[in-house]
Structure 1
Amino acid sequence: MSTAWIILFIAGLLEAGWALGLKASNGFSRPLTSLFTVLAMILSFYLLAQAMKSLPVGTAYAIWVGIGAIGTVLLGIFFYGDSANPLRLASLTLILTGLVGLKLAS
């Protein structure tokens, strides 16, 4: 796996982190949480831009969003008690299948 894919994976994880940070910041009313959320946003976008230097734009963006979406849903289930019903989990599996397909096609 190339460095660009590793960078993209980290960027996707940071996307999930800042999405959860938005909730934890309570509408940016918690200063320290808000600061970490904004820093995660900046770093996530920066790493995505770096990965796009050598990866196809559509593939990189879709995988970044997908990692962020899957990570956010799973962490939301774990930390916030979000629903983990079978249809929701099956839908995550479909997203993951699409991401693997995009990676294999690149």
Structure 2
Amino acid sequence: MTCVGSITKATLRLANATASNTNQIIHLNERFEIVSLVGTLNKAPHLHICLSDKDGKTVGGHVISDLEVFTTAEIVIGECTGLQFTREMDDRTGFPELVISSRSEKV
């Protein structure tokens, strides 16, 4: 639901990336404040983060890997007990996209 804290390392895919053009990836290796962290947690977590540097400038994107906490990460997680979150490949985007269904439905 929310997260604040700080990191020293992150690898992010930027908004311009496509399934065939993944060179829009950045590797960050300095101290950043976590301004926001949102997404879904399932077998394949899907997280987006917004970070603020020492000058207050922000950068954000899809968390790929290497999210290393510096001092703390205060994470509040909510659970939707009646829903199931899965991902299915979308031929249009080239990425696995979120599918939400009732837990009573067969997936």
TM range (shorter): under 0.3
| Structure 2 length-normalised TM | 0.23
The normalised TM-score by structure 1 is: 0.23
- Structure (1/2) with the larger strand percentage: 2
- Rg larger for: 2
- Which protein has greater RCO, CA pairs closer than 8 Å, 6+ apart? 1
Normalized per residue, which structure has more helix? 1
